[in-house]
């Protein structure tokens, strides 16, 4: 977990942690380091970044997917303290959850942009926030998809994430566990609904639609502690892997996952 991204020609990614208590993903092309979301408080984010050999000042940007607390909590404090630019949609800004930051840049869904050599495509997702996006990254000819917080695998999402070499994919809940679990009925409807979160079975359906031939890494992410278990997420996706389970990883709330390089 302490490996630093080398200044080499490789697209790399890691997670500081994933789940309803906080999400943050690192993406690096060796020269550019960006953080996608920061649902951890500033001190906690600093501590977790240090475990990956990074100081907040080394971040070129924080990209924000949407305004829910498990994604935005530490973004304003980090950006203010270390003068890190925040990239976000106008809708996310209008939620008022970020507060003032020294510099922000507009993300226009479906409009590609670049931070130094790292190319980024923001993709609209069906989720109950103001203007949520997820991101597809490209560097050194390799593609990484970061795809969590979506209620269903829409045609638009499937088109936008085809041909990735690695994919961080939401496996939020097991439908049966959500049904019989402790959430109140209204929250069950929200999580399981079209603008909530992706069930294991929907993640499997999405992967089938995307095709798995190119995918070197698939990371089950944003796993609910109440309504899922890592084994159930793995069980849902393993049959799609034609015996090559080494491609499949789980991102945990506490430790995320270590740096992964896309060859
Ligand atoms: Zn959300
Ligand atoms: Zn979330």
Each residue's pLDDT tens digit, 195-235: 999 999 999 999 999 999 999 999 999 999 999 999 999 99
At 131, give phi and psi (nearest 5°).
Answer: -150, 65
Q: How far apart are CA 59 and CA 62, in angstroms?
A: 7
Q: Average pLDDT for residues 162-186, to the nearest whole number?
A: 98
Q: Name every residue whose Cβ is closer than 8 Å to that of residue 200 and which is 6 or more positions away in sequence.
A: 171, 172, 173, 174, 175, 228, 232, 233, 235, 236, 237
Q: Which residues surround ligand 2, an ion (CB under 5 A)?
A: 70, 149
Burial 68-78 (b: 16+ CB within 10 A, else e): bebbbbbbbbb
Q: Is the pLDDT of residue 138 over 80?
A: yes
* Token output for 64: 């924000």
Give this prediction's pTM: 0.96
Q: Is the pLDDT of residue 6 over 70?
A: no
Ligand 1 centroid distance, CA of 6 (Å)? 32
Ligand 2 centroid distance, CA of 65 (Å)? 9
Q: Is the pLDDT of residue 107 over 80?
A: yes
pLDDT of 242 reads: 86
Q: How far apart are CA 17 and CA 64, in angstroms?
A: 15
Ligand 2 centroid distance, CA of 180 (Å)? 21
Ligand 1 centroid distance, CA of 141 (Å)? 30
């Amino acid at each position: 977990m302490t490996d630093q991204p080398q200044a080499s020609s490789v697209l790399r990614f890691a997670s500081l942690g994933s789940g309803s208590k906080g999400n943050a993903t690192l993406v690096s092309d060796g020269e550019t380091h960006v953080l996608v979301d920061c649902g951890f408080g500033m001190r906690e984010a600093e501590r977790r970044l240090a475990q990956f050999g990074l100081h907040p000042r080394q971040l070129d940007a924080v990209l924000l997917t949407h305004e829910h607390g498990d994604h935005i909590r530490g973004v304003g404090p980090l950006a203010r303290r270390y003068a890190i630019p925040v990239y976000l949609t106008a809708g996310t800004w209008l939620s008022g959850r970020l507060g003032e930051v020294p510099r922000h840049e507009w993300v226009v869904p479906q409009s590609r942009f670049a931070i130094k050599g790292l190319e980024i495509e923001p993709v609209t997702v069906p989720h109950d926030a103001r203007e949520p996006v997820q991101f597809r990254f490209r560097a050194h000819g390799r593609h990484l998809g970061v795809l969590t917080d979506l209620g269903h695998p829409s045609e638009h999402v499937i088109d936008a994430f085809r041909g990735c070499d690695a994919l961080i994919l939401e496996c939020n809940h097991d439908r049966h566990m959500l049904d019989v679990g402790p959430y109140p009925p209204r929250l069950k409807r929200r999580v399981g609904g079209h603008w909530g979160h992706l069930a294991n079975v929907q993640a499997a359906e999405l992967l089938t639609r995307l095709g798995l031939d190119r995918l070197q890494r698939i990371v089950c992410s944003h796993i609910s502690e109440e309504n899922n278990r890592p084994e159930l997420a793995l069980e849902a996706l393993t049959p799609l892997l034609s015996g090559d389970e080494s491609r499949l990883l789980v991102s945990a709330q506490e430790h995320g996952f270590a740096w992964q390089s896309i060859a």
